[in-house]
Amino acid sequence: MAECVFCGIASKKIPSRIAAEQDDLVAFHDTNPQAPTHLLIVPKRHVASLNDLSTADAELAGRILLFGVELARSLNLQKAGYRLVLNTGPDAGQTVHHIHLHLLGGRALAWPPG
């Protein structure tokens, strides 16, 4: 099976605009941004969706969220607000089967999205 695109970005085999990196996470700019700030935060280890997480992954799940908050703060989004989104499955809009947290900000975001 071919490597997924986010695994390729995380391993730097596929070029991307990397925004920040930690030991087991990488954040990069979305190629189809839905807001002035639109980063994707992914684990370097392949996990297809939230449905594939177990209690053993609780620390990783927490680090993904906290990395999103850290990035939002570093981009000065905390005062006006930002959105963190995890889509799971096709009906939710997950198109790449590798867990990814969207960090969106820089403008007023409508609800519901879409």
- Residue 35 near residue 110 (C-beta atoms within 8 A): no
The string of pLDDT tens digits covering residues 77-114 is 999 999 999 999 999 989 999 999 999 999 999 887 66
Q: What is the pLDDT of residue 112?
A: 78
Domains in the chain, CATH or no CATH each: 5-105 (3.30.428.10)
pTM here is 0.93
Q: What is the pLDDT of residue 1?
A: 43
User: Which of 46, 97, 100, 102 does the annotation list as catalytic?
Assistant: 100
Q: What is the mean pLDDT of the chain?
A: 94
The Cα–Cα gap between 43 and 107 comes to: 27
- Residue 20 near residue 42 (C-beta atoms within 8 A): no
Query: What is the pLDDT averaged over residues 13-30?
Result: 97
Query: What is the pLDDT averaged over residues 20-44?
Result: 97
100 is catalytic: yes
